[in-house]
Amino acid sequence: MEVRLPLRTGTTYEVRGEITDVKRKQGGAIGTFDLLTFRLEVLSPGGAVAGACTNSFIFPRQAVSGDHARSVVPPEPSATGTDPPSGRGDHPAASTAAVPTAAVPTAAVPTALARRRVAVGDELPERIIESVSAEKMKTMAALLGDPNSIHWDTDALRRLGLGERPVNQGPNNMGYVVDMLADWAGGPEGFRCLKVRFAGNVFAGDRLVAGGRVTATRPCPEGQLVDCEVWLTRDGAETVLTGAATVSLAS
């Protein structure tokens, strides 16, 4: 995801998109599938590209074995060139970032670091989600029109061997990292780019910590462009998301 211009409330934007690639692939978990890659661009009133996102969807194809056929419920979006997940809930092996639509609100993080020069190796202030809300998963599923019952149906979770706690949506998990970056940058206008890899599931009630570390800096008209490695950990141990981001810090 790239943010080239600030996105402002009350402004009307045009969204355009195109399919950029379609490939048929073979995966161990779901067999034959088609990987469709597409790009979306958000255009400002003057026609300039304010933001862009490249993402992919996996479309499993019916696999036939003898006289029997099986179909597979599609997982969530996966990044271009990656294989589908291997049975770990609905999280893909990797994903480019889609614009997060909602994240669980948490306490604001101080933005003092955004007011000074930063250096390679600096740690970003952590953002803590004390308990992931199952009710917010239901709300997100309704907003997205998401039919995957692992986000709200405990019976479905038990049948799939995933326990009894609903699985959080990938965009929510990514949203926690975006919130952490925006707080550190002094506001959402400092957010520039994010690419993530989903490495595990997040369940209702989990305690999450979003963090990051500066990997490179360079000057820009606003002050300083900062590249970071970012992550999201679950219950202080398992890393469920990793990625790379770029933010702009004012001088």
pLDDT in tens, 14-71: 999 999 999 998 877 667 888 888 899 999 999 999 888 887 777 777 654 444 333 3
Whether 91 is covered by a domain: the verdict is no
The pLDDT of residue 127: 95
Residue 179 is assigned to a structural domain of this protein? yes
At residue 232's C-alpha, the angle toward residues 231 and 237, to 5°, is 110
128 and 57 within one domain: no
Inter-residue contact 205 to 132 (CB < 8 Å): yes
Residue 191: exposure state from Cβ atoms within 10 A (0-12, 13-18, ≥19): buried
Confidence of residue 144 (pLDDT cuts 50, 70, 90): confident
Average pLDDT over residues 212-222: 91
Give the least confident one: 103-117, 167-181, 228-242.
Answer: 103-117
Domain boundary, last residue among 55, 86, 117: 86
Same domain, 123 and 247: yes
Judge if 226 and 115 occupy the same domain: yes
The stretch 208-213 carries a mean pLDDT of 97
**86, 115, 133 - which closes a domain:** 86
Residues 141 and 200 in one domain: yes
Range of the domain at 117: 97-251
**Lowest mean per-residue pLDDT among 120-129, 165-174, 184-193, 206-215:** 184-193
Q: Are 242 and 228 in contact (CB under 8 A)?
A: no
Say whether both 105 and 80 belong to one domain. no
User: 103-107, 168-172, 176-180, 217-221: lowest mean pLDDT where?
Assistant: 103-107
- Within this chain, do residues 56 and 106 fall inside the same structural domain, yes or no? no
Question: The CATH number of the domain where 111 resides is what?
Answer: 3.10.129.10
Position with higher pLDDT, 151 vs 68: 151
pLDDT of the residue at 162? 82
